[in-house]
């Protein structure tokens, strides 16, 4: 019987994970079939049908993570659940309902069907934070490990790759704005990780190899790329690779909060920024050097799959940024 893997979340990261697993060779002569499940998985499924072998895909099943009764039928027979539950912006209530309790619902459903759970969080997840995004990420991590102690949690830094929201968005902004903004000198640090490397990591975990599972079960994996950049340096790369000349102007955080207070009340658009997003720029977004017993190295996981080294931002970004 093919090994069923459900990717719960059909966005940028989910599509890359599904594609990576669907095109990977058999493991121990076992075929893996990927099922996309989200509120609207059909459009992405149709796209993947044109890109991967048809025998590698199961029919998509729509789910709503805020409605647990939609999850169990979709997860039936699954051996691996990849949970990509999350929001980039929203009200505190929406963050609680989706990013925290929605992740709990996925974990309960994974436990019910006896599936391995791979849960995506974020570097900076902190249940004690006053900012909704990291707070609910941290609370979700705690809940997931309580419900599924053998779950693997992956915390990526800034994710890049074709169709990413971050670099493509700032490249578009550079078309319309006479400058690119940073706050307080743009000194906060990021460790961008290539979406393909994250997809490879999930593909390796989804093999359910006993040796790998022993290493990643119940572990938190902080995923960063090979290089660290300041926010200002990222803006410089955006301008270089999109072939535009714009000054980079630094504003105080107080200005960013005022800007966010206005823009977050308007319909979401290219210029949308929230006060919470500005606040998050006060902290670095890089892999920590702590190696507690519940941590496992992202580089070591990739090495388990005998894959090439982690891909760098300066290698990939020029291939798609214009």
The pLDDT assigned to 253 comes to 93
Annotated domain spans of the chain: 3-159+193-224+286-308
Residue written as token pair 């270089």: 240
The predicted pLDDT at position 292 comes to: 59
For the domain made up of 3-159+193-224+286-308, the CATH class stated in words is: alpha beta
Q: What is the dihedral of CA 171, 175, 178, 183, to 10 degrees?
A: -20
DSSP 8-state secondary structure symbol assigned to residue 135: H
For 192, half-sphere exposure in the C-beta direction (CA atoms, 13 angstrom radius) is 23
pLDDT tens sequence for the chain (322 residues):
789 999 998 789 999 999 999 999 888 778 899 999 999 999 999 999 999 988 899 999 999 999 999 999 999 999 999 999 989 888 899 999 999 999 999 999 999 999 999 999 999 999 999 999 999 999 999 999 999 999 999 999 999 999 999 999 999 999 999 999 999 999 999 999 999 999 999 999 999 999 999 999 999 999 999 999 999 999 999 999 999 999 999 999 999 999 989 988 888 888 888 999 999 999 999 998 765 567 778 888 887 666 678 999 999 999 999 7
CA distance 240 to 263: 28
Give buried/exposed letters for 251-276 (b at 16+ CB in 10 A, else e): beeeebeebbeebbeeeeeeeebbbb
**Residue written as tokens 């920590």?**
288
* Residue whose pair of structure tokens reads 């902004």 in the numeric block: 173
Beta bridge partners of 153: 119, 220
Separation between Cα atoms, residue 119 and residue 25, nearest integer Å: 23
Q: Is 158 in contact with 228 (CB distance < 8 Å)?
A: no
SS3 content of the chain, % helix, strand, coil (to 5): 45, 15, 40
This prediction has a pTM of 0.94
Provide the 8-state DSSP code for 285: B
Identify the sign of the CA torsion 197, 203, 204, 206.
positive
Adjacent-strand bridge partners of 295: 220
Q: What integer pLDDT is reported at residue 293 of this predicted model?
A: 65
pLDDT reported for residue 299: 85
**Coil, strand or helix: which one is 189?**
strand
State the DSSP H helix or E strand holding residue 192, giving kind and residue range, or none if neither. Answer: none
Give the 3-state secondary structure of residue 34: strand
| Residue 302 confidence (pLDDT) | 80
**In this structure, are strands 189-190 and 229-230 parallel, antiparallel, or unpaired?**
antiparallel
CA–CA dist 169, 245 (Å, integer): 16
Smallest CA-to-CA distance from 174 within 242, 273, 74, 103 is with: 242
């Amino acid at each position: 019987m093919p090994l069923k893997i459900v990717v719960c979340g059909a966005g940028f990261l989910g599509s890359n994970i599904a594609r990576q697993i669907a095109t990977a060779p058999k493991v121990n002569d076992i075929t893996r079939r990927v099922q996309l499940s989200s509120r609207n998985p059909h459009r992405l499924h149709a796209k993947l049908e044109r890109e991967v072998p048809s025998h590698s895909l199961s029919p998509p099943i729509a789910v709503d993570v805020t409605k647990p009764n939609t999850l169990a039928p979709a997860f039936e027979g699954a051996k691996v659940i990849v949970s990509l539950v999350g929001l980039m912006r929203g009200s505190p209530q929406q963050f609680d309902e989706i990013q925290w309790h929605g992740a709990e619902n996925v974990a309960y459903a994974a436990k019910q069907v006896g599936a391995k759970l791979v849960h995506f969080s974020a570097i900076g997840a902190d249940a004690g934070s006053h900012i909704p995004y990291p707070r609910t990420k941290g609370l979700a991590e705690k809940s997931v490990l309580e419900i599924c102690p053998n779950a693997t949690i992956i915390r990526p830094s800034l994710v890049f790759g074709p169709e990413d929201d971050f670099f493509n968005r700032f490249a578009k902004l550079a078309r319309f704005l006479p400058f690119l903004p940073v706050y307080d000198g743009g000194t906060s640090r990021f460790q961008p990780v290539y979406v393909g490397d994250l997809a490879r990591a999930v593909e390796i975990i989804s093999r359910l190899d006993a040796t790998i599972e022993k290493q990643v079960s119940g572990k938190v994996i902080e995923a960063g790329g090979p290089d660290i950049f300041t926010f200002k340096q990222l803006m410089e790369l955006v301008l270089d690779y999109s072939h535009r000349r714009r000054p980079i102007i630094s504003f105080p955080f107080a200005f960013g909060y005022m800007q966010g207070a206005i823009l977050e009340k308007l319909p979401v658009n290219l210029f949308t920024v929230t006060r919470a997003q500005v606040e998050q720029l006060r902290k670095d977004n890089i892999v920590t050097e702590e190696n507690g017993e519940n941590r496992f190295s992202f580089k070591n996981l990739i090495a388990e799959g005998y894959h090439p080294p982690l891909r760098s931002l300066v290698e990939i970004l020029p291939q798609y940024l214009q």
